Structure 1
Amino acid sequence: MSKQLLPPSGPGRPKDLTKRQAILDAAKNLFLRNGYDGSSMDAIAAEAGVSKLTVYSHFTDKETLFSEAVKAKCQEQLPELLFELKDDAPVERVLLDIARGFHSLINSRESIELHRVMVCMGTQDPKLSRVFYEAGPQRVLQEMEHLLRQADRAGKLRIDDPHEAADQFFCLVKGGANFRLLIGCGEPQHGAVAEQHVANVVKLFMRAYRPD
């Protein structure tokens, strides 16, 4: 679509946040229901109850909209605030909050369906796979790496490789249960079972990286 047709978005014309949220919600629904290729900008506009021009005024193309929809989903469960380490905050409590949020995110219906879509798309459109990875998993991993660097500098943990440790943490939270869920031979962990799982993950992680 020609950029000349798009309404200006500079000073004096603020974006309508309600419409933006409606577009994101519609995009998440359609991408999960119909896949990336099966979700047109026209269909997303109709689902959101806005014009196609409004969709393009908020998101320049479908790839950008897909990326922002993935970011929005991660932000719902793992707001950046969770990755802050205050001086008086016990690191175990911070890790437990992150583990709970991540566990809830990866076991949600939307996340499972999106991962299945991306597995199917992986060999067809590597560029789209990269967009998904950078918008979701990579952003979360970077936030966790930054937090672990803070914990190491503060002496709350002893970590030589924060990137590797962040990756280990999220792999522990996923565990075998998430894989079984992805392939359709398991149920999401809930309630006391989920809480015990994330508590065990944090306990194991602390045992590995607690300062002497």
Structure 2
Amino acid sequence: MPITKGRKFKQVLEGARRVFLREGYAGASVDDIAGEAKVSKATLYSYFPDKELMFTEVFRADLALDIEESLVAVVADRPAAEALPFLVHALAVRMVSGSGVNSYRLRVGESARFPDLARECMDRACRRRRDDVRSYLERWTRRGELEINDMELAAEQLIALATALIRDRALFLGSDSVTDAHMRRATVGAAHVFLAAYGPRFGAAARVHGDPAISRADRAKTVPPME
């Protein structure tokens, strides 16, 4: 059924988004959504005849915002060893921000109830993120700075490494619990692991730029442990 977009449509949609992100699909009531959007239930129903249609529209609008947000293009022309920490940091910040964590929690939590939307998320947002990362990796590989045979796999691995140490922390303890120290440790560590796997086989050339090789004991003194 097509949705009629009137003067207050955006207001209704944003109110519904806030409630769904906070309460989930089952916990969100029409009364709560109308109150959050500051409209009457009659106005709400004039746009969305049922809650399922409303959730679908909110999900897709949130997904569109995620897809439109691009990664930092400034790192593309830098050497891989110098740029990887910046790329990993950009990925990590997006995924563990307050809005990023809430959207991720909602998408995963409602994937069984809305399998078509879950597949749409995989096909659009996840693929877009993977393609963005892949474009960087392809450029660095063409320049001989990385040695990658399976670009898609490498892109997925880098995305996973970007949040390996911090996404669970953000999900369970909140985004504010991810400090600058946590982010730095995760970012530099992910870049090291990725370069160890895909960097050119020239020893020191695969070292992350600006991060000298130090012993594990010395590193423990300078980088706070994850709590």
Bucket of the pairwise TM-score, normalised by the shorter protein: 0.5 to 0.7
Contact 1:27 1:69 in 2 (8 A): no
SS of equivalent to 2:72? helix
Contact 2:85 2:188 in 1 (8 A): yes
Question: Following superposition of structure 1 onto structure 2, how do residues 138-149 of structure 1 map, counting pairs within 5 Å?
Answer: 138-149=127-138
Contact 2:96 2:167 in 1 (8 A): yes
- Identity across matched positions, percent: 24
Match of 2:64 in 1: 71
Deviation at 1:163, TM superposition (A): 0.8
Deviation at 1:127, TM superposition (A): 0.9
- The count of corresponding residues between Structure 1 and Structure 2 is 192
Establish whether residue 154 from structure 1 lines up as the match of residue 143 from structure 2. yes
Contact 1:42 1:52 in 2 (8 A): no
Q: Pick from 70, 76, 89: which aligns with 1:80?
A: 70
Judged with a 3 Å threshold, the aligned counterparts in structure 2 of structure 1 residues 123 and 205 are, in CA distance, closer, same or farther, namely: same
In the TM superposition, what whole-angstrom CA distance separates every residue of 1:15-37 from its partner, at most 9, and x where no partner exists?
x9xx96x6775454233023346
Residues of 2 paired with 1:116 and 1:149: CA distance? Answer: 31
Residues of 1 paired with 2:126 and 2:174: CA distance? Answer: 23
Match of 2:152 in 1: 163
Structure 2, unaligned stretches of length 5 or more? 202-227
Deviation at 1:180, TM superposition (A): 4.5
Residues of 2 paired with 1:94 and 1:26: CA distance? Answer: 39
Q: Which 10-residue stretch deviates more, 193-202 or 130-139?
A: 130-139
Judged with a 3 Å threshold, the aligned counterparts in structure 2 of structure 1 residues 131 and 41 are, in CA distance, closer, same or farther, namely: farther
Establish whether residue 117 from structure 1 lines up as the match of residue 106 from structure 2. yes
TM-score (norm 1): 0.67
Contact 1:103 1:174 in 2 (8 A): yes
Q: Pick from 161, 164, 171: which aligns with 1:172?
A: 161
* TM-align CA RMSD: 3.8
Match of 1:31 in 2: 20
Deviation at 1:150, TM superposition (A): 2.1
Match of 1:106 in 2: 95
In the TM superposition, what whole-angstrom CA distance separates every residue of 1:76-125 from its partner, at most 9, and x where no partner exists?
xxx42525764x42223432222112212222233323333233322222
Deviation at 1:49, TM superposition (A): 7.1
Larger Rg: 2
Match of 1:191 in 2: 180
Residues of 1 paired with 2:190 and 2:121: CA distance? Answer: 26
TM-score (norm 2): 0.64
| Aligned-partner residue type, residue 82 of structure 1 | V
